[in-house]
Structure 1
Amino acid sequence: MGNLFTMLTVWADYGQNALVILDQTCLPNREVYLALKTAEEIWEAIYSLKVRGAPAIGVAAAYGVAVLMQGVEVTDFESFYREFVKVKKYLESSRPTAVNLFMALDRMEARLLRHRGEGVKDWKRVLREEAEAIREEDAAACKRIGEWGVSLLRPGMGLLTHCNAGHLAVSEYGTALAPVYLGQERGYAFSVFADETRPLLQGARLTAYELQKAGVDVTLICDNMASTVMKQGRVQAVLVGCDRVAANGDTANKIGTSGVAVLAKYYGIPFYVLGPTSTIDMGCPTGEQIEIEERAREEVTEKWYARRMAPEGVKVYNPAFDVTSADLITAIITERGIAYPPFGGTLRMWKEKTF
């Protein structure tokens, strides 16, 4: 696996009271680490995709609020809690679609409230402990997702993925790419087609980068080539991650995912969605209620070009995500197992832990 898994994406350095991240906007050309010490720096890093991937965003937010609260020097809980809520709400405004961001911060708040009768040192300690627990649970969940996912695959298969749901998007292994890495360790010799994933090119910049670094047979394709490789019989399964799963199984993921699902359905190729149960939002009945982030027009017209590639003043529509209907999804795979349609009952069981 090369040295991919020695590369950390996000951690807390309490010695310098900083959230440290691998700046993914610099990949694949440079591996740059940033020490973020203010709420504004952390917010900007999440918004600008310096740290990205739904699970990694949740981990970063948890570490971020823990780090920021280390510098709060008050003796009464109400003052401490008031500052916590201020930071929490600010970080929540950075990315609206990934549910992990909100769930991680809600979990940090719940842990803090359980210790309100203690002192400031204890409040800071429990925030550090909870943030670390969130990271450790994410890493363990990804390994289990990989085990369930690889059980559906056969050695030598051709796989297609969209966006980046690998090691860079989580604490370890990844979600959609976890079965690929487990298969690599076991000699399955998968070949992976990675969509470049416009407009932010996470497939080209990140997925191709990490798969190559891990020694996986990876071929980069433009988004509009997915149909061709499917038609040629070179793809036997599609693996994608998710930023939010509605109660009925509708799934939000990086823009372009729903198009891949339509193609897979047409060609009779299994379409698997992989992610931790933390991405399941039972308070969201269907995909229609998922808020879709829209991003700056410059990402489409000029961000990746030496000179702009669109006329000045042209209108641009740039949603960051789309919603894949549940009826296009073969299975949803989490750390708890594999759900098949109809998804609602299994997703509810997983969230309520009645299994």
Structure 2
Amino acid sequence: MDKTKAAGHGKAENVGLSSDGKRVIIIDQTRLPSKKVLLELGTPGEMYDAILGLKVRGAPAIGIFAACSMYCLAQQIGTEKMESFIEELETYGDYLNSSRPTAVNLSWAISRMLRTARLHEQKGRGKVLAALGRECRIIQEEDVAMCRAISEYGLTLIQEGDGILTHCNAGPLATSRYGTALGPLMLGAERGMKFKVYADETRPLLQGARLTSYELLQAGIDVTLICDNMAAAVMKNGWVQACFVGCDRVAANGDTANKIGTSGVAVLANYYGIPFYVLGPSSTIDLDCHAGDEIEIELREEDEIKKKYYKQPMAPDGVKCYNPAFDVTDHSLITGIVTEKGILKAPYEEQIRKIFNQKEIRR
């Protein structure tokens, strides 16, 4: 079911529950910026398709969506036998988790909801459902608080009049509210700061063009949209003083998976001596992943390159396409990783260990 209205201003969260708590409501991000379409999703297939089809996207938002989905699906399990209940919930979790492999927040949120269910298993179905509902709300509230903290830390890295380049979309649409990479910009604008933002269009799905430029315009921020292959030009012109990007998974050594093209931006920034910052919640750090080469990279359909958003195909029939959704930026190219717990600097493995209070990273 969808409810359509013209895209415009508004503070509504982009992921939430219906009034009866039995369906997940999202903004369909594939329809922005021209239309703001609210989807109400109640079946496992609809939820899986929303993740795979990028109707909901952004690592934190995917995590919140997964938690809400698990709560809604748990209510559909009819058995009172708790062993069978947990097994069925695990099956739902495995199904949702198979939709996209790269963003760690998906598996993180599903695991957290399953852990909550097991913790209350002996109390019966009603208590388990109540606990899952609470956990779902807590995860969303935590995300709001984390994004606010990330925004405060990130704002300390921006000076009045700076030019900031960003890639893909890591604003409010990719989280519960505020955003990660765009959070400091939103906060700075609220406080009257003036700066310029250069938004990479982010091929092939144009998240920068469709979503980032939309969000920044709504916030009254000076934003200029550029093609991905123009990043070097604006850097060489001296128009960029820092790069802010989000993250879908951060390895224990600081290697970072983010939207395809991010690594190229980092290489360019390194060449031109421009600070390159990754912004994201600590839930995006995967302690079980030692380095970036262990991160599974999602491969997507060829037609996203050849046909998506075009009235006619932009490539000849039969040509092969390589369409990875993400790439990995080496930790050596990252100036700092901004989390809700502070700004991490190299050596990242040591800094990450400290914020998780671990003596050593598991290998």
Q: Give the TM-score normalised by the residue count of structure 2.
A: 0.95
Report how far residue 72 of structure 1 moved: 1.7
- The Cα shift of 1:71 comes to 2.0
Note the C-alpha offset of 1:148: 0.5
Q: Please, which of 306, 326, 330 is the counterpart of residue 325 of structure 1?
A: 330
The answer on whether the counterparts of 1:241 and 1:275 sit within 8 Å (CA) in structure 2 is yes
Of residues 258, 261, 264, the one that matches 1:256 is 261
Quick one: distance in 2 between partners of 1:289 and 1:319?
15
Tell whether 2:86 aligns with 1:69.
no
Amino acid of the structure 1 residue aligned with 2:287: M
Partner of 2:3: none
**Residue 159 of structure 2 aligns to which amino acid in structure 1?**
R
Contact 1:192 1:219 in 2 (8 A): yes
Query: Is 1:309 aligned with 2:314?
Result: yes
Deviation at 1:353, TM superposition (A): 7.4
Q: Distance in 1 between matches of 2:76 and 2:357?
A: 36
Q: Confirm or deny that 1:152 pairs with 2:161.
A: no
- Could you tell me which residue of structure 2 aligns to residue 109 of structure 1? 114
Shift of 1:211: 0.5
In the other structure, the counterpart of 1:6 is 11
State the shift of 1:5 in Å.
5.4
Deviations 1:4-58 (A, max 9, x none): 5513211011516111110000000000000001000000000000000000000
Tell me, yes or no, if structure 1 residue 221 matches structure 2 residue 203.
no
Secondary structure in 2 aligned to 1:269? coil
d(CA) in 2 for partners of 1:352 and 1:106?
A: 21
Is the Cα contact below 8 Å between 2:300 and 2:325 reproduced in 1? yes
2:172 aligned partner: 167
Cα displacement string for residues 226-284 of structure 1 (whole angstroms, at most 9, x for unaligned residues): 11111111110000000000010000000000000001001110000000000001111
The one-letter code of the counterpart of 2:314 is M
Query: What is the distance in 2 between the residues matched to 1:5 and 1:178?
Result: 16
Q: Which amino acid aligns with 2:209?
A: A
Structure 1 residue ranges, 4+ long, deviating more than 4 angstroms after superposition: none
Unaligned runs of 5+ in 1: none
Given the alignment of the two structures, is residue 209 of structure 1 paired with residue 214 of structure 2, yes or no?
yes
Q: Aligned to 2:103, which of 58, 75, 98?
A: 98
Q: Secondary structure at the match of 1:8?
A: coil
Q: Tell me whether 1:45 sits opposite 2:50 in the alignment.
A: yes
Distance in 2, Cα, partners of 1:352 & 1:225 = 42
Match of 1:287 in 2: 292
For residues 134 and 24 of structure 2, the distance between their equivalents in structure 1, rounded to whole angstroms, comes to 15
Q: CA separation in 1, counterparts of 2:104 and 2:54? A: 16
CA–CA separation in structure 2 for the residues paired with 1:187 and 1:58: 32
CA contact (8 A) 2:21 2:72 kept: no
2:97 corresponds to which letter in structure 1? E
Residues 138-179 of structure 1, C-alpha deviation per residue, up to 9 Å, x if partnerless? 110000000111011111111000000000000010000110
Structure 1 residue identity aligned to 2:236: K
Matched, 1:345 2:350: yes
Q: Distance in 2 between matches of 1:133 and 1:165?
A: 21
CA distance in 2, matches of 1:92, 1:35: 20
Does residue 27 of structure 2 align to residue 15 of structure 1? no
Can you give the 5+ residue segments of structure 2 that lack an aligned partner in the other structure? 1-7
Equivalents in 2 of 1:14, 1:231: separation in Å? 51
Please name the residue that 2:244 is paired with.
239
Note the C-alpha offset of 1:73: 2.0
SS in structure 2 of the partner of residue 20 of structure 1:
strand
| Equivalent in the alignment of 1:82 | 87
Instruction: Show the counterpart of 1:121.
Output: 126
Paired amino acid for 2:41: L
